[in-house]
């Protein structure tokens, strides 16, 4: 499904973006020596000055390019088509969720993920339709960041990534392998892979248009609101997943300490 056609030369742009991301992480490590401080500093966001600069950059790019493109995309395609696009890309991520479920020792969730992938790929027309959901087969989305958290790797400081948005040092560092684990990265045809990547990015932004409008109208400090929402949703999601598999253990459950 090529909604956006990109030339093979654009692969050089993607390689450049990955190099920029690595340079950004090097800059982050250097900036960690100059952490933010003060009575209103968030202890989870010692890199706030740097993060706010990146957020301003993201906002500028979003207003100038991403939001207009996403709005045109949403206006051009019916909701059912956009939902099928979302299902398609979610299906491509299922094998990586399977691997991370196994790495976390969640054998039942891994087995259900395989069943979901097979069902939606065959009967859902390569994932365009979520037939598995209609059959009561739950999704168990996992990524490397959650796997690292499962094995006790702390999140580290909150991190605002260029174009990609809220993350943490742990989760942001895992994104390279998360990308490689997605079936989309296995596409050999560069033009097809880049077209699908662009489609996925625009479709994701289109899905967030309403949330972005609410963010702008509900918060005086959009950066702080987005940061706090991320921190309050990401780690509890991880801890809930960890707690559920320990539910039947005899020893008392001790919640992981906050990073």
Tell me, yes or no, whether 48 lies in a domain.
no
What is the pLDDT, as a whole number, of residue 18? Answer: 53
Q: What is the pLDDT of residues 120-142, one digit of tens each?
A: 999 999 999 999 999 999 999 99
Q: Which residue has the tokens 């979520």?
A: 130
Q: What is the mean pLDDT of residues 222-243?
A: 77
Work out the average pLDDT over 164-181.
95
d(CA 143, CA 175) in angstroms, rounded, equals 9
Predicted confidence at residue 61, as pLDDT, reads 97
Q: What is the pLDDT of residue 259?
A: 38
SS3 (DSSP) at 135: coil
Q: What is the DSSP letter of 168?
A: E
pLDDT of residue 250: 39
Question: Does pLDDT of 245 surpass 70?
Answer: no
Higher pLDDT: 247 or 202? It is: 202
Question: What are the two backbone dihedrals, phi and then psi, of residue 207, each rounded to the nearest 5 degrees?
Answer: -65, -20
Buried-state track 120-135, b at ≥16 Cβ within 10 A, e below 16? bbeebeebbbbbbeee
Tell me, what's the pLDDT at 237? 63
**Rg, C-alpha atoms of the chain:** 19
Whether 258 is in a domain gets the answer no
Show the domain range for 172: 78-240
Give mean pLDDT, residues 229-252. Answer: 60
Residues 88, 130 contacting (CB under 8 angstroms) = no
Residue 194 lies in a domain: yes
Q: What is the mean pLDDT of residues 208-229?
A: 84
Q: What is the pLDDT of residues 14-73, one digit of tens each?
A: 555 455 555 555 455 555 555 554 456 788 899 999 999 999 999 999 999 999 999 999
Task: Specify the pLDDT at position 212.
Answer: 80
pLDDT band at 257 (very low <50, low <70, confident <90, very high): very low
Alpha helices in the chain, H assignment, sequence order: 10-31, 48-61, 67-76, 79-92, 94-103, 107-122, 131-134, 144-150, 169-181, 190-207, 209-218, 222-245
53 to 58, 61, 86, 119, 155: CA distances (angstroms): 9, 13, 30, 44, 21
Element (H, E) at 159: strand 158-161
Phi and psi based region of residue 160 (left: phi greater than 0; alpha: psi -120 to 50; beta: remaining): beta
Question: Is there a domain that residue 119 lies in?
Answer: yes
Q: How many domains does the chain have?
A: 1
Please, which residues have CB within 8 angstroms of residue 113's CB and are 6 or more apart in sequence? 94, 97, 98, 101, 139, 140
Compute the distance between CA of residue 182 and CA of residue 94 in angstroms, rounded to an integer. 8
Mean pLDDT, the chain, whole residue set: 83
Whether residue 47 is contained in a domain is answered as no
Give dist(CA 168, CA 160) in Å, integer: 8
- Percent of the chain exceeding pLDDT 90 equals 66
Report for 5-9, 59-63, 214-218, 248-252: range of highest mean pLDDT: 59-63
Residue 140 counted as domain residue: yes
The answer to whether residue 186 is domain-embedded is: yes
Residue 61 lies in a domain: no
């Amino acid at each position: 499904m090529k909604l956006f056609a990109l030339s093979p030369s654009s692969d050089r742009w993607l390689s450049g973006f990955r190099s920029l991301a690595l340079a950004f992480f090097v800059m982050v490590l250097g900036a960690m020596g100059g952490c933010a401080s003060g009575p209103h500093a968030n202890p989870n966001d010692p890199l706030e000055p740097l993060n706010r600069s990146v957020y301003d950059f993201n906002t500028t790019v979003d207003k100038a390019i991403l939001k207009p493109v996403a709005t045109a995309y949403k206006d051009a395609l019916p909701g059912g088509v956009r939902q099928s696009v979302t299902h398609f890309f979610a299906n491509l991520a299922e094998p990586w969720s399977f691997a991370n479920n196994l790495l976390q020792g969640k054998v039942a969730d891994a087995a259900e993920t395989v069943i979901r992938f097979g069902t939606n790929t065959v009967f859902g027309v390569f994932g365009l339709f979520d037939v598995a959901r209609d059959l009561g087969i739950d999704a168990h989305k996992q990524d490397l960041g959650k796997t690292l958290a499962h094995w006790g790797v702390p999140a580290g400081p909150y991190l605002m990534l260029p174009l990609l948005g809220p993350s943490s040092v742990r989760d942001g560092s895992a994104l390279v392998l998360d990308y490689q684990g997605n079936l989309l990265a296995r596409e050999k045809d560069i033009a097809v892979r880049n077209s699908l990547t662009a489609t996925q990015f625009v479709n994701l932004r289109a899905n967030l248009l309403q949330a972005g409008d609410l963010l702008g109208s509900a918060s005086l400090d959009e950066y702080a609101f987005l940061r706090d929402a991320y921190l309050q949703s990401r780690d509890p999601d991880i801890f809930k997943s960890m707690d559920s598999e320990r539910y039947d253990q005899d020893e008392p459950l001790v919640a992981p300490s906050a990073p």
